[in-house]
Amino acid sequence: MALLKVSGLAKSFGGVKAVSDLSFAVAPNQIKAIIGPNGAGKTTVFNLLCGVFAADAGTVEFAGRNISSLAPYVRARLGVGRTFQNTLLFDEMSVEENVMAATEAGLRLNAFAYLFRWPAVARAERQRREIAAEALKLVGLQDKARDPAGNLPAGERRLLEIARALGTRPEIVLLDEPAAGLNNAETDRLKHAIRAIRDRSITVLLVEHDMGLVMEICDEIVVLDQGAKIAEGPPLLIQEDDRVIEAYLGRPADNA
Ligand SMILES: Nc1ncnc2c1ncn2[C@@H]1O[C@H](COP(=O)(O)OP(=O)(O)OP(=O)(O)O)[C@@H](O)[C@H]1O
Ligand SMILES: [Mg+2]
């Protein structure tokens, strides 16, 4: 059974059809990518999946359950985690604290607990620290746990964002352009991290413009052009698909 299933999804902004009649599925333990030219609708799809926008039509099913009308935080709690195209880290806090801030464990403790139930607070704190340590290990930042986040270079900031998404203990994690702005060495670390995440049985759906990375690590690719799916399949078939080549290189008429 698919872990995530999208059927007939549509979203317009004014007159612009950002996403139209989109259907695809993500199997458990897959690394799947959504690619397409700028403005194709990729980020909009992510926003529809995690509930930032309500869809005009269509459904999103997660683990067999229709989550289309659920709020973003409910979807996150059910296991849909994500990163954003633009970073938001707490630079003054340590790397570890950045991840701990994203974990939910212990949030149920109220002020009363903090005043009178220290063992429960200490236990929740320990649990959050463990979740953070595991997330940092998956992305290869365990040795930087105590460093201020503001000291990290671009590539490691990106890895930290991913660790923050893992801090919510997702079953699927949505990564929006994780390789944007990274150099080759940083992209290699990112590849390694994405594979490690999948090996921990966390399904990965990513939007990415770095075709080298997409072709190397993905099991399957969905190609969007002007909001519609024009191809779907394994990397080797996508690379040879005429409609995909046309969407990227421009139609003959566009070049005239
Ligand atoms: N909040 C919004 N309000 C109005 N229009 C929007 C909004 N978000 C996206 N759009 C429009 O929807 C279309 C798809 O945008 P989207 O950001 O999903 O593309 P994308 O594939 O992620 O592009 P990129 O590769 O540049 O990140 C574009 O025409 C964009 O201008
Ligand atoms: Mg985008």
| Domains identified in the chain and CATH numbers | 4-255 (3.40.50.300)
Asked if 59 contacts 8 with a C-beta cutoff of 8 angstroms, the reply is: yes
Looking at the CA of 22, which ligand is closest?
A: 1
Minimum-distance ligand 1 atom for the alpha carbon of 41: 18
> What is residue 116's predicted lDDT score, i.e. its pLDDT?
65
Positions in the chain short of pLDDT 70 = 84-87, 104-117, 251-256
> What does the alpha-carbon distance between residue 75 and residue 67 come to, in Å, rounded to a whole number?
7
> What does the alpha-carbon distance between residue 191 and residue 23 come to, in Å, rounded to a whole number?
27
Atom 28 of ligand 1: nearest residue by CA position:
39
pTM for the full model? Answer: 0.91
Atom 30 of ligand 1: nearest residue by CA position:
39
> What is residue 118's predicted lDDT score, i.e. its pLDDT?
72
**Per-residue three-class SS string for 66-107:** ECCCCCHHHHHHHCEEECCCCCCCCCCCEHHHHHHHHCCCCC
Minimum-distance ligand 1 atom for the alpha carbon of 36: 21
231-240 long-range Cβ contacts below 8 angstroms, 24+ apart = 232/24, 239/215
Looking at the CA of 35, which ligand is closest?
A: 1
Asked if 155 contacts 190 with a C-beta cutoff of 8 angstroms, the reply is: yes
> What is residue 256's predicted lDDT score, i.e. its pLDDT?
44
Best of 12, 22, 38, 44 for a ligand 1 pocket test (most atoms within 8 Å of beta carbon): 44
Which residue bears the tokens 């950045």?
Answer: 98
CB-proximal residues (5 Å) to ion ligand 2: 43
CB within 6 Å of ligand 1 — which residues?
13, 16, 18, 36, 38-44
> What is residue 251's predicted lDDT score, i.e. its pLDDT?
61
Minimum-distance ligand 1 atom for the alpha carbon of 40: 21
Q: Is residue 147 within a helix (H) or strand (E), and if so which, with residue range?
A: none
> What is residue 255's predicted lDDT score, i.e. its pLDDT?
46
